[in-house]
Amino acid sequence: MNPWTDTPSVINKNNRPEVKMTRLRLLLIALVLGLYALEGILVNPLIFWVSIPIYFGYSVVASALKDSSKVKLRQGYGYLVLTVCFTYLYHFAWFFDWNDTKTGSSTSALIFLWFPVYAFFFGFAGYLFGLIGVKENKER
Amino acid identity of 35? L
Count of Cβ atoms closer than 10 Å to residue 42 Cβ: 6
CA distance 130 to 135: 9
Domain that holds residue 111: 3-139
**Averaged pLDDT for residues 109-138:** 82
d(CA 5, CA 134): 32
- Asked if the model's pLDDT at residue 15 lies above 90, the reply is no
Q: Max Cα separation, the chain?
A: 73
- 42-79 pLDDT, tens digit per residue, is 788 888 898 999 999 999 999 988 888 888 889 999 99
The predicted pLDDT at position 67 comes to 87
Rounded to an integer, what distance in angstroms lies between the CA atom of residue 115 and that of residue 124? 14
> What single letter denotes the amino acid at residue 44?
N
Number of domains in the chain: 1
Give me the pLDDT at residue 100, please. Answer: 83
